[in-house]
């Protein structure tokens, strides 16, 4: 029978390992999906691959599942960071969800001059990312880090990682043209500004840095969430693992 | 002074032309943006380019603006259709918004075997598309057409237009690889299935048709809205106008 759910857990996964399920997971399995003990589910923890597991007891306060066998081995994933200026409302949740589906490894909110939002609920974004990772069949969950200023993020930028800054104003090369000539799966970052765009001094700063390449996403002005999704999709297609197919579905 | 708003209108635009504004537009200008008569706005109608215009009287029941001078000439836009299986809730609105920002010319809801949604509010999607066109500085508004079955849509498919079908199951070539060798700005369609994917017989039908190319968007399972946005972004970057820059911002 097809596994009835796919859950991210923190515990190690090994044959026979009992894995504690949180109150939220137990509630979801029992009251939303209406699953009984004995049903088969999938578990992953970001380190040990994906496991078939059998549900044990589900109580109000939590539950347990027992790992049976590994279905997919852990495999390297693209080393892609998304730096984005936080935006209002649902749109920031959209970024967390879509960035997860599109294989970002890390999400870094950055505060820029025209950023209107002052508080970022990192826990809420992390929950959304976990949900999206469970759904899209990733073997990892992206890390959502605490907001930093754009300047700080750039000052601490690691050697050997390029940063593609999506810029609507000023000179920039088409992102597809830039990515077409780069190596695949190189450590990379994408930077997307707020609805108001980057300020002129931010654009100047970005253009001074050797690891930054200003890239364009076409002639229309994209909302911040659209720009983030478009840039992620392009990077994966041209610079990441977009040449791979979903596992387990090739023969359907 | 920077234009205070950008509005889609249906009337012809020419020097001195008086353009009637709808009740909704007048309300937005007067009560949301708090604009007074005399303020400068931008108008476009999908045929005559983009015009600077002066606001006249704004009443509860409507208003008027007078076109002053053309700021941008009408220009050809990519001839890209998005065919998508309607999905629930906000996500279908997201598709309308993002497809507009990413330059789709036509949105065609298609009913597939695994489509759960039975009714599509075309008017609501059209309103969302108009709003997105105003915001993203397009010179047109995409046409949202009435839902059809997938089979009907394929039977009436026009000569000379390719259709890229995003398929998670079965054989498919990476979308970037397919688009890298095609001509730019050729009449095209993108097809995105529902959350449950295409059925095996739908996949068989698609693979029999000479104008269809099955394409893949990488190893993760994308939600239907994410797949639509990713496919649109890729097509524009590699097959559309993604090599162009936003107008009026080059010198910022």
> Any idea what the CATH number is for the domain that residue B42 is in?
2.40.240.20
Task: Provide the sign of the torsion angle of the four alpha carbons B119, B122, B123, B128, taken in this order.
Answer: positive
Give residue B249's pLDDT: 63
Task: Indicate whether B150 and B232 sit together in one domain.
Answer: yes
Which is nearest to A169 in space by CA: A137, A131, A202?
Answer: A202
**Which residue range forms the structural domain that includes residue B44?**
6-72
Domain closes at, from A28, A50, A72: A72
Would you tell me the crossing angle of helices B90-101 and B122-136 to the nearest 10 degrees?
Answer: 40
- Residues B218, A175: C-beta atoms closer than 8 Å: no
Look up the CATH number of the domain holding residue A126: 3.40.1280.10
Region A95-110: what's the mean pLDDT?
Answer: 98
Alpha-carbon gap, residue B12 to A169, rounded angstroms = 31
Domain closes at, from B43, B72, B101: B72
Q: Does residue B249 sit within a domain? A: no
Q: Does residue B156 sit within a domain? A: yes
Task: Indicate whether B154 and B232 sit together in one domain.
Answer: yes
**Res B250 pLDDT > 70:** no
Q: What is the DSSP letter of A240?
A: S
Prediction pTM value = 0.96
**Res B226 pLDDT > 80:** yes
**How many residues can be counted in chain A?**
252
Helix (H) or strand (E) holding A70: strand A62-72
Task: Indicate whether B119 and B177 sit together in one domain.
Answer: yes
Q: Does residue A25 sit within a domain? A: yes
**Phi and psi (nearest 5°) for A66?**
-115, 120
Segment B46-77, tens digit of pLDDT: 999 999 999 999 999 999 999 999 999 999 99
User: Taking CA A19 as the corner, what is the angle to CA A139 and CA A79, rounded to the nearest 5 degrees?
Assistant: 20
Domain closes at, from B30, B55, B72: B72
Contact yes or no for B50/B17 (Cβ under 8 A)? no
Q: Does residue B113 sit within a domain? A: yes
Task: Indicate whether A104 and A207 sit together in one domain.
Answer: yes
B234: chain A residues, CB-CB within 8 Å: 233-234, 237
A246: chain B residues, CB-CB within 8 Å: 168-169, 218-221
Region A223-240: what's the mean pLDDT?
Answer: 98
Choose among B136, B220, B237: nearest Cβ to A222. B136
Task: Indicate whether A63 and A149 sit together in one domain.
Answer: no
Task: Indicate whether A158 and A190 sit together in one domain.
Answer: yes
**Res A250 pLDDT > 50:** no
**Res A251 pLDDT > 60:** no
Q: Does residue B1 sit within a domain? A: no
- Residues A174, B222: C-beta atoms closer than 8 Å: no
Region B85-100: what's the mean pLDDT?
Answer: 96
Contact yes or no for A154/A207 (Cβ under 8 A)? no
Alpha-carbon gap, residue A24 to A6, rounded angstroms = 14
Task: Indicate whether A122 and A190 sit together in one domain.
Answer: yes
Region A11-24: what's the mean pLDDT?
Answer: 97
Percentage of chain A beyond pLDDT 70 is 98
Picking from B176, B178, B196, B198 by the largest number of A CB atoms within 10 A of its own CB, the best residue to mutate is B176
Task: Indicate whether A111 and A34 sit together in one domain.
Answer: no
Domains held by chain B: number: 2
The shortest C-alpha distance from B100 to chain A (Å) reads: 9
Task: Indicate whether B68 and B119 sit together in one domain.
Answer: no
Query: Which residue does chain A place closest to B96, by CA atoms?
Result: A226
Q: Does residue A122 sit within a domain? A: yes
Q: Does residue B212 sit within a domain? A: yes
ipTM associated with this complex:
0.96
Under the banding of pLDDT at 50, 70 and 90, the label for residue A249 is low
Task: Tell whether A174 lies on the interface with B, counting CB pairs under 8 A.
Answer: yes
Task: Indicate whether A85 and A64 sit together in one domain.
Answer: no
- Residues B250, A170: C-beta atoms closer than 8 Å: yes
Q: Does residue A247 sit within a domain? A: no
Task: Indicate whether B47 and B149 sit together in one domain.
Answer: no
Q: Residue B175: CA atoms inside 13 Å, Cβ hemisphere, count?
A: 34
Under the banding of pLDDT at 50, 70 and 90, the label for residue B251 is very low
Task: Indicate whether B52 and B137 sit together in one domain.
Answer: no
Segment B152-200, tens digit of pLDDT: 999 999 999 999 999 999 899 999 999 998 889 999 999 999 988 999 9
- Residues B219, A170: C-beta atoms closer than 8 Å: no
Give strand pairing partners of A216: A174
Region A59-80: what's the mean pLDDT?
Answer: 96
- Residues B218, A240: C-beta atoms closer than 8 Å: yes
Contact yes or no for B142/B99 (Cβ under 8 A)? yes
């Amino acid at each position: 029978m097809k596994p009835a759910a796919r859950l991210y857990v923190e515990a190690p996964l090994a044959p026979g390992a009992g894995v504690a399920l949180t109150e939220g997971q137990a509630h979801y399995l029992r009251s939303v999906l209406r699953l009984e003990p004995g049903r088969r589910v999938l578990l992953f923890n970001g380190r040990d691959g994906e496991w078939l597991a059998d549900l044990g007891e589900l109580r109000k306060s939590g539950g347990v599942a027992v790992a049976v066998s590994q279905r997919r081995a852990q495999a390297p994933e693209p080393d892609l960071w998304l730096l984005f200026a936080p935006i209002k409302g649902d749109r920031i949740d959209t970024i967390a969800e879509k960035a997860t589906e599109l294989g970002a490894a890390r999400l870094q909110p950055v505060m820029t001059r025209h950023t209107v939002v002052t508080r970022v609920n990192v826990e809420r974004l992390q929950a959304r990312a976990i949900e999206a990772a469970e759904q899209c069949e990733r073997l990892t969950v992206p890390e959502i880090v605490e907001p930093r200023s754009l300047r700080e993020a750039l000052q601490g930028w690691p050697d050997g990682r390029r940063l593609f800054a999506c810029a609507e104003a000023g000179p920039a090369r088409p992102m597809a043209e830039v990515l077409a000539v780069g190596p695949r799966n190189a450590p990379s970052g994408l930077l997307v500004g707020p609805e108001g765009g980057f300020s002129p001094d931010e654009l100047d700063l970005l253009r001074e840095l050797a690891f930054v390449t200003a890239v364009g996403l076409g002639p229309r002005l994209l909302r911040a969430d659209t720009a983030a999704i478009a840039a992620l999709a392009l990077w994966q297609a041209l610079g990441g693992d977009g040449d791979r197919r979903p596992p387990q579905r090739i023969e359907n």
